[in-house]
Structure 1
Amino acid sequence: MSDALHLGAGAGARAVCVLVHGRGQSPEEMQAHILARLDVPDVAFVLPRAATGSWYAAKAVDPLTAETRSALAASLDALAADVAAARDAHPGRPLLLAGFSQGACLSLEYAFSGQPTPDALAALTGCRVGVRADTRDRDLAPGLPVYLTGSDGDSWIPVTAFAEAAVELGQGRARLRADLFPGRAHEVSDAEVAMVGAMLADLAAGGTTRMAAPR
């Protein structure tokens, strides 16, 4: 049974956001650091919880091992179950899949894995898991709106990994906006929070997210 945290609008929600925490974090930290800075009253939030506090043990930029592949597959199954439950609880409502750091990486892997596609994706400080030489899924739905962010000052996701993710998203024909924030620490900036809020507002209004918030 999922231990996800459910917050925000109830049965009357006009959009849903599944927000995935990073390594060593919790849904409660996502609530404090991101949701508390949003003003989207018509949105229901589902915040999945990693059983051990992390979705896999390796760094995202480490070559994939059998152990990492196994942990990643289990975490993707858990995320898919939470996404499906969110869809079932709010039928017909658009869904934004979002994540920070390791949660952003897991969300990207979900999008590339051929799982049922969200209506939009926000990968805040994210990249693909593994290295370019690894065999990885590339089953991305063409036209998926994706907001990808990074920083040259981030200790976990190098600029090169951010850039490689942007290339793969482009090759998969995502409708991509990629923002690099020079000097930003390993955190979610006000501009990133504003973009997530704008994406959710667009979805709740019944339109396609424009990803038009200023940098």
Structure 2
Amino acid sequence: MAETLHQGATAQTARAVCVVVHGRGQTQQDMIDMILSRLDVADVHYVLPKSAGEAWYDAKAVDPLEEGTTRQLNAALDAIGNCIDAARQDGLPLVLIGFSQGACMAAEWLMRGGKVTSAALLTACRVGAVQDDLVRADLAGLPVYTTNGDDDPWIPLWAHRKLVGELSECGARLRMDIFPGRGHEVSDVEIATLSEMLEAAVAGHRALEAAS
């Protein structure tokens, strides 16, 4: 994995940590421009991992899990998990944000037992085809914000809804937004909800409380 970037408050002064995972063909700077630059939340230390290549894995999200894809997926999840573990600070809330393929990676990491305070999966689905037997973890009330466009070119709406169903069955506490006509981007509504989640983390409150 390429070098991890750090933004926002220093690790020493932060009151919350946020790991932001980019999508296919994107960079950490894309996440800074698309998300971080539009947030106005103090005291958050942002950690941005970077895939070794142009993507975390080569296949499309809803392609069958063949041997090569599984190998790439496992390696990428290990790299992201190591980044998240390195970002942890005792006593500080940890928020996980992913966009597009990065959101798919975040979803898979959570479904394999990864632990965070709250998570936002922006334009996400599970990695694999309908027939694949995908692992599930007990999410035990984890606040998760999920979004998609109604005609996204990369993440089919049916696949996003399947993810939402699995998250709910695993015990996550969900807010879901579907945006008619939204491009493959992060909308102002998503930024506003991310801000609320981060402000809750900084204040030590439970995220998405109003939507519960």
Q: Is this a same-fold pair by TM over 0.5?
A: yes
Q: Report if the CA contact (8 A) 1:108-1:123 is conserved.
A: yes
TM-score, normalising length: structure 2: 0.96
Match of 1:20 in 2: 21
Say if 2:18 and 2:94, in contact at 8 Å, map to a contact too. Answer: yes
Q: Partner residue of 2:153?
A: 155
Q: Is the 8 A contact 2:21 2:102 kept in 1?
A: yes
Amino acid of the structure 2 residue aligned with 1:91: D
Residue 142 (structure 2) pairs with residue 141 (structure 1): no
Q: Deviations over 1:64-108 (max 9, x none)?
A: 111111101001000111101100xx3210001110000000000
What RMSD, in angstroms, separates the aligned Cα atoms of the two structures? 1.3
Residue identity in the other structure for 2:148: G
How many aligned residue pairs are there? 210
| Partner AA of 2:155 in structure 1 | I
2:104 counterpart residue number = 105
What is the distance in 1 between the residues matched to 2:138 and 2:100? 20
Q: 5+ residue gaps in structure 1?
A: none
SS at match of 2:41: coil
**What corresponds to 2:78 in structure 1?**
77
Instruction: Tell me the equivalent position of 2:204.
Output: 206
Identity among equivalent positions (%) equals 50
Letter in 2 for 1:145: P
State the partner residue of 1:193: 191
Shift of 1:2: 5.9
- Letter paired with 1:204: V
* Partners of 1:154 and 1:184 within 8 A in 2: yes
Query: Could you give the per-residue CA deviations for residues 33-64 of structure 1, whole angstroms, max 9, x where no partner exists?
Result: 11000001210000010010210000101111
Give the corresponding residue for 1:3. 3
What is the DSSP-based 3-state SS (H/G/I as helix, E as strand, rest coil) of the residue aligned with 2:3? coil
For the residue of structure 1 that corresponds to 2:18, the secondary structure is strand
Amino acid at match of 2:94: L
The CA distance in 2 between the partners of 1:137 and 1:185, in whole Å, is 30
- Aligned structure 1 segments of 4 or more residues deviating by more than 6 angstroms: none
In structure 2, runs of 5+ residues without a counterpart are none
Equivalent residue, structure 1, for 2:177: 179
2:98·2:120 contact (CA, 8 Å) conserved in 1? yes
Contact kept in structure 2, 1:5 and 1:46, CA below 8 Å: yes
Secondary structure of 1:48's partner?
strand
The residue aligned with 2:93 is: 94
